[in-house]
Amino acid sequence: MPNWCEGIMKIRGTKENVAKFFKEGVHTYNWGRKADNSDAYEIDSDGLIVDDSDKYMLDVIIKNDAYIEGTSRAFILSDYYDMCFEYNDEPTICIFGFKQAWGIRADEFVPISKKYNLDFRFNGYEGGMCFEELVEIINGEITKDETIEYEDWNWECPRPDLGG
């Protein structure tokens, strides 16, 4: 069982590119057991709802933790809802709860950034190992990948209650 680095994920891009990322690169699953006691899972088409029918607004509703394709156990957290708006040709920015096993792997998000023409920014906390991570990927390039350790985790860390 891994420790989780948990916090927030920001996604920036055009409304169309953000919607495409959620429709193609993010999946929710129904987990269960087969008769032979092996793991079984299938894509849960009702667990992730993406409504891009409005000209300026994008609705994203995540009912089950949503796996980000191409990553090592990175998830957008469930029970999360965001409305992303695009005004005056400004990029859409969406904010979601996020977790990834052991830590945020910036290199895994580089191909995703390139494929969907999106920027990513992460702020994650790992309460078990007591570190904070700040990661930013702009135009498929890692512009920030920092780990912060605190002498007094519970006092100095902004969110010592996350991760672990």
**Could you read off the pLDDT tens digit of each residue along the chain, which spans 164 residues?**
789 999 999 999 998 999 999 999 999 877 655 556 555 566 676 788 888 888 878 888 888 889 999 999 999 998 766 677 667 778 888 899 999 999 999 999 999 999 999 999 999 999 999 999 999 999 999 999 999 999 999 999 999 999 98
Which residues neighbour 8 within 8 Å (Cβ) at sequence distance 6 or greater?
A: 95, 96, 97, 98, 122, 123, 124
Tell me which residue has tokens 């089950």: 64
Confirm if 156 and 127 have CB atoms less than 8 A apart.
no
For each of the domains in the chain, give its residue range(s) and CATH number, in order of start: 4-30+40-156 (3.30.70.1270)
pTM equals 0.88
Q: Could you give phi then psi for residue 97, rounded to 5 degrees? A: -70, 150
Whole-angstrom Cα distance, residue 139 to residue 141?
Answer: 6
Confirm if 14 and 89 have CB atoms less than 8 A apart.
no
Q: Could you give phi then psi for residue 107, rounded to 5 degrees? A: -60, -25
